Amino acid sequence: MKGKTILFVFLISGLLISGVSADDKKDVAQVVESGYFNGAFNGLDTQSMAKAFHPDFAIFSAKGKELGRYPIDAWIKGIEKRKSDPGFDQNRAKMDCKIVNIDVTGNCASVKVEIGKDGKLIFTDYLSLLRFEDGWKIVAKVYHRHK
C-alpha cells in the first residue's frame, strides 16, 4: 500500500510541476470526441464542429513539394452537402474513432487518433489544439491515409 501511495504522489507531483492536470486531458478529449468524432464523422454535427474548431483551422497535407491546406469552412460545407444528399445513409457512414494518445503541455495539446471502418484502419490523424479564453480549440490537423 505504501508503494502505491508513493507512486500516486509522484504522478500527481509530476502533473503539478508540468502544469498539466487530469482535467486538461479530459477537456481535450471532450473537444475531440464532440467536435471531431461526432461533428466530422459519426454525427455529422457541424454546430459541434464550429464550437470545437478554431475558425482558422485547416487540414494540412503534402502535395508533391507543396503544402495543401483544406480550411474548416470548406470542410463544414462539404459535410452539409453530404447530409443533404437524399441517398446518404448516415448509419452506413459511421466510423470507428478512438483517441490513441493525448499530450498536453501548458496551453498546447497534441492528440493522436485512429479512424477506421469494419475493423480496418483508414486514417491516423494528429490534431493540434490550443487553449483559448473560451476553452480548447482544434487548430490544425495532419494525417496519414492507410492503404
Domain ranges for the chain, please list them.
Answer: 2-145
Q: How far apart are CA 115 and CA 120, in angstroms?
A: 9
pLDDT given at position 92: 74
Q: Which residues of 88-124 are buried (b: 16+ CB within 10 A; e: fewer)?
A: eeeeeeeebbebeebebeeeebebebbbeeeeeebbb
What is the 8-class DSSP label of residue 64? Answer: T
- Single-letter amino acid, residue 41: F
The H or E element that residue 6 is part of is: helix 2-18
- Residue 58: closest CA among 140, 131, 124, 136: 140
pLDDT given at position 1: 52
**Which CATH code fits 2-145?**
3.10.450.50
62-84, pLDDT tens digit by residue? 999 999 999 999 999 999 998 88
pTM of the full structure:
0.83
